[in-house]
Structure 1
Amino acid sequence: MRKVVIAGNWKMYKNQSEAKAFFSEFPKHLQAIADQQIIICVPYTNLAIVQTILPSVACPSLSIGAQNVHWADSGAFTGEISAPMLVELGIKYAVIGHSERRQFFGETDDTVNKRIKTAQAHGITPILCVGESKLQRDNNETETWIFSQLANALVDVDQSNLIIAYEPIWAIGTGDTCQSSEANRVIGLIRSKLDHQNMTIQYGGSVKPDNIDEIMAQPEIDGVLVGGASLDPAGFARIVNYQP
């Protein structure tokens, strides 16, 4: 049985007071949670304060995640955060290899692989992001590109402790959502390349309250990784409360 995981990625949004306000409002809109895991990946400056708020939210299925993790336990890596630092805060999930990290900060398949293995070694479940650009899709390179990302990122990786998010880059923050049937097709192809067939595979890219039901009705899609729509407590709760 594949686990349903609904994750929000706040990116570089919300200071501590705004985060407190979100978690004060968010639980009011939640319906009965079945078996899905809810993860909200907040900026590093919010991790500690949100972890202290979490017990008052009274939602056992809700966890806080980080947006990256370094491959070294310590060292001269200005601006980075290590796995032991996250573990100290009780963090159990981390997004790794997001397209924005690859595009703007030089992330490569090799560094993604190192980050994944270090996270797993410390008991943190990575959310590995893969996906193609508009140019690659237009050139019919979607499958080749994603298969290459997987092959390089998953070297010596424990697939039993991993979540994959398929995020077509051309659909992130653009309002242009990949058709749910096409997302389902690509995720099925991703699954065909995995050793662990019960791995949770999410879709990400302009996921909104008004398209979540259709997305989650697809048989290969096990959840979503939500960007902008996760910033609004009522809107994100509607996504969590999906009805496929």
Structure 2
Amino acid sequence: MPQRPYIVGNWKMNGTRAQLAEARAIDRGAARHSGVRVAIAPPFTLISTMVEAVQELTVGGQDCHSQVSGAFTGDISAMMLKDAGAGFAIVGHSERRAMHGENDAMVQDKARAALDAGLEVIVCVGETEAQRDAGKAEQVVGEQVEASMPVGEGFVPRLTLAYEPVWAIGTGRVAAPADVAAMHAVLRAKLVALYGDEGSNVRILYGGSVNAGNAAELLATPEVGGALVGGASLTADSFLAIVAAAAPAAD
């Protein structure tokens, strides 16, 4: 049976309790599209309250620490996310890699910690504009997958890979469908190399200025199993338009 498309909203550093009204509206809309799995990663401060406010949505964290506990001021462990009701964690987002100096080894450690805590994991990879212009996009992203994805018994069913070209995040620029298809084919091959036949079942999301206008074309691209959405996930109107674009025709 084919997997449902997976549409994940990353609210980043946006959202107060007032925005829970948008989450509730997204939740009601998601109930009308049972053929799509819908999730939101709000700020840490909203996780527990959002979990209580919604029924259809999966709620997750935007990051986690690799350690279970300790003297890590300002950080959140995967076990804390789990305790707050989160179902998944995003790790390796390009903003974490660029602004917080996270490398592939750190991302892999975080992914493993989240899995050990019982969470699902979305691991992000993507190239910069300079790397693409130099003809190194597939090499760079392939190496990120090899070094960032955790390998272990029973991990695969809880893993999702997200391809987010750095130059397309929040810029309004979107990768051409042909480029997306080419990169996702590379990613699929890497996943099969890492996990064997199970690697063919790992969802690969596309992220990078996904919106209502381009979602249908991107989601129809081979090997694209969903979308990781930034700014367009902050309101029900814009996010549900993307969910609707992902819905099967009979949904």
Q: What range describes the TM-score normalised by the shorter chain of this pair?
A: over 0.9
1:193 corresponding residue in structure 2: 190
Alignment partner, residue 4 of structure 1? 5
SS of 1:197's equivalent?
helix
1:114-125 alignment, distance < 5 Å? 114-125=109-120
Q: Report the TM-score when normalising by structure 2.
A: 0.90
- Say whether residues 1:207 and 2:204 are aligned partners: no
- Residues matched between the structures, number: 238
2:37 aligns with 37
Whole-angstrom distance in 1 between the partners of 2:157 and 2:27: 30
Amino acid in the other structure paired with 2:16: N
Q: Is the 8 A contact 1:30 1:238 kept in 2?
A: no
Q: Tell me, yes or no, if the aligned pair for 1:202 and 1:221 is still in contact at 8 Å.
A: yes
RMSD over aligned Cα atoms = 1.5
Amino acid at match of 1:9: N
> Which residue identity is paired with 2:245?
Y
- For structure 1, the residue ranges without an aligned partner over 5 or more in a row are none
| Whole-Å separation in 2 of the counterparts to 1:235 and 1:219 | 24
- Asked if the contact 1:29/1:234 (under 8 Å) is kept, the reply is no
Q: Structure 2 regions of 5+ residues with no counterpart?
A: none
Aligned equivalent of 1:81: 76
Work out whether 1:165 is the aligned partner of 2:162. yes
**For the structure 1 residues 239 and 73, does the alpha-carbon distance in structure 2 shift closer, same or farther, using more than 3 Å as the test?**
same
Per-residue deviation, residues 99-145 of structure 1 (Å, max 9, x unmatched): 00000011110110100111111111110000000000000000110
Q: CA contact under 8 A between 1:31 and 1:241: conserved in structure 2? A: no
> Residues 124 and 89 of structure 1: is their aligned pair in 2 closer, same or farther, counting only changes over 3 Å?
same
Opposite residue 44 of structure 2, the aligned amino acid is: Y
CA distance in 2, matches of 1:198, 1:225: 18
Counterpart among 225, 228, 231 of residue 228 in structure 2:
225
How much does 1:30 deviate? 4.7
Q: Which residue is equivalent to 2:100?
A: 105
- What is the match of residue 146 of structure 1? 141
Cα offset, 1:31, TM superposition: 6.8
- Which residue of the other structure, out of 66, 74, 79, is the alignment partner of 1:71? 66
Contact 1:130-1:150 at 8 Å conserved across structures:
yes
Can you list the C-alpha shifts for 1:171-202, whole angstroms capped at 9, x where unaligned? Answer: 00000000122112101110011121111000
Structure 2 counterpart of 1:75, one-letter code = G
Identity of aligned residues (%): 37
* 1:26 CA drift (Å): 2.6
Note the C-alpha offset of 1:39.
0.8
- Give the Å deviation of 1:155: 4.7
Q: Quote the offset at 1:204 in angstroms.
A: 0.2
Deviation at 1:35, TM superposition (A): 2.9
Moved more, 195-204 or 127-136: 195-204
SS, match of residue 120 in structure 1: helix
1:93 and 2:88 matched:
yes
In 2, distance between residues paired with 1:124 and 1:28?
Answer: 24
Q: Which runs of 4+ in 1 moved over 6 A?
A: none
Deviation at 1:27, TM superposition (A): 4.2
